[in-house]
Structure 1
Amino acid sequence: MRIRTAEAADWPAIWPVVRAVAAAGETFTYPRDITEEFARASWMLSAPSRTVVAVDGAGTLLGTAKMNPNHMGPAAHIASAGFMVAPEHSGRGVGRALGEYAVEWARAEGYRAMQFNAVVESNSRAVALWKSLGFTVVGTLPEGYRLPGGRYTGLHIMHLAL
Structure 2
Amino acid sequence: MEITIRAYTAADTSAAILIWNQVVEAGVAFPQMETLTEQSGAAFFAGQSFTGIAQDGKTGEVVGLYILHPNNVGRCGHICNASYAVKEGLRGQHIGEKLVRHCMAKGKALGFRILQFNAVVKSNASALHLYQKLGFTPLGTIPGGFLMKDGHYEDIVPHYITL
**Do they fold alike, i.e. is TM over 0.5?**
yes
Relative to 1, partners in 2 of residues 1:89 and 1:44: Cα closer, same or farther, differing over 3 Å?
A: farther
Aligned to 2:45: 43
In structure 2, which of residues 3, 8, 18 is the aligned counterpart of residue 6 of structure 1? 8
Per-residue CA deviation, residues 129-157 of structure 1 (Å, 9 max, x unaligned), is: 11111111113221011223222211221
Relative to 1, partners in 2 of residues 1:117 and 1:89: Cα closer, same or farther, differing over 3 Å?
A: same
**Cα pair 1:54 1:98 within 8 Å, conserved:** yes
Give unmatched runs, 5+ long, in structure 1: none
Aligned to 1:129: 130
Q: C-alpha distance in 2, partners of 1:147/1:53?
A: 27
Q: C-alpha distance in 1, partners of 2:75/2:142?
A: 24
TM-score (norm 1): 0.91
Per-residue CA deviation, residues 12-58 of structure 1 (Å, 9 max, x unaligned), is: 11111111110011111110x42414444333335xx1001000021
Aligned to 1:18: 20
Question: How far is 1:127 from its partner?
Answer: 1.1
* Identical residues among aligned pairs (%): 32
Aligned alpha-carbon RMSD (Å): 1.5
Q: Which amino acid aligns with 1:42?
A: F
Relative to 1, partners in 2 of residues 1:30 and 1:40: Cα closer, same or farther, differing over 3 Å?
A: farther
Relative to 1, partners in 2 of residues 1:133 and 1:142: Cα closer, same or farther, differing over 3 Å?
A: same
Q: C-alpha distance in 2, partners of 1:8/1:38?
A: 12
Question: How far is 1:9 from its partner?
Answer: 0.7
Q: Report the structure, 1 or 2, having the larger strand content.
A: 1
Matched, 1:52 2:52: yes
Matched, 1:149 2:150: yes
Q: Which amino acid aligns with 1:14?
A: A
Count residues with an aligned counterpart. 159
Q: Which amino acid aligns with 1:50?
A: F
**Cα pair 2:8 2:45 within 8 Å, conserved:** no
SS at 1:118 equivalent? coil
SS at 2:59 equivalent? coil
**Cα pair 1:3 1:52 within 8 Å, conserved:** yes
**Cα pair 1:18 1:39 within 8 Å, conserved:** no
